[in-house]
Amino acid sequence: MKRIVGVSLAALSTAVVSTCPLLASTQAQAAVAPLDASYGLSANTINYAGPATATLVIGGKTYKFKNGTCTSIKVSGITDDVTLGSTVQSKDGGVAKGNGKKPYFSIDLSPHPPDIINATYYGGKELVDSGSITATGSVVKSGSSKGTFSSGTSLNGSTTTFTGSWNCHGTFEKH
């Protein structure tokens, strides 16, 4: 029995590290808490915290995101990883359906294209599938990062037209 428990704990820590490599490797400002039972899911949610904000405009509708971090991740070559809102993980470790109705926004900006937007959620709907974006803005060594972006092609080949902006509000972590 001890052996099974040991294997289970090892598997669990591997799953957490592989599901959240950014959190494990960078100590990003986030909190992991059990998902409220009102969502009807057995899951955990990762709540990002910080002053970063973003706006996404699709089909004339504006979505605003807050409570985020901006991080430079040297080992992966990401100049600026902007992550806001919450990620709701399902029991199997993936993203819960509709992200548990919680907002989530994430872009990865690098010195070499393509810049990427990750699957974005708001109000229980996936607004944007992961794909490339065109970003214009600044990532300054002093920690200021803000700019605008526009749609590219999603990883599944669909073309959703959107625009948006991000602002780290002077807080920028380097790892």
Q: Are 13 and 27 in contact (CB under 8 A)?
A: no
Segment 53-74 shows an average pLDDT of: 91
Judge whether 15 lies within some domain: no
What does DSSP say about strands 131-139 and 125-128: parallel, antiparallel, or unpaired? unpaired
Q: Indicate the pTM of the whole model.
A: 0.71
Mean residue pLDDT across the chain: 75
- pLDDT of 97 reads 92
Sign of CA dihedral 64, 22, 32, 29: negative
Judge whether 13 lies within some domain: no
3-class secondary-structure state, position 74: helix
Out of 43-52, 145-154, 164-173, pick the least confident: 145-154
Judge whether 84 lies within some domain: yes
- pLDDT of 139 reads 67
More confident residue, 88 or 3: 88
Q: How many domains does the chain have?
A: 1
Residue 59 CB contacts under 8 Å (≥ 6 apart), including other chains: 161
Whether the predicted pLDDT of 127 surpasses 80: yes
> Could you list the residue range(s) of the whole structural domain that residue 63 is in?
27-174
Segment 52-72 shows an average pLDDT of: 93
Whether the predicted pLDDT of 19 surpasses 80: no
Tokens of 143: 């920690």
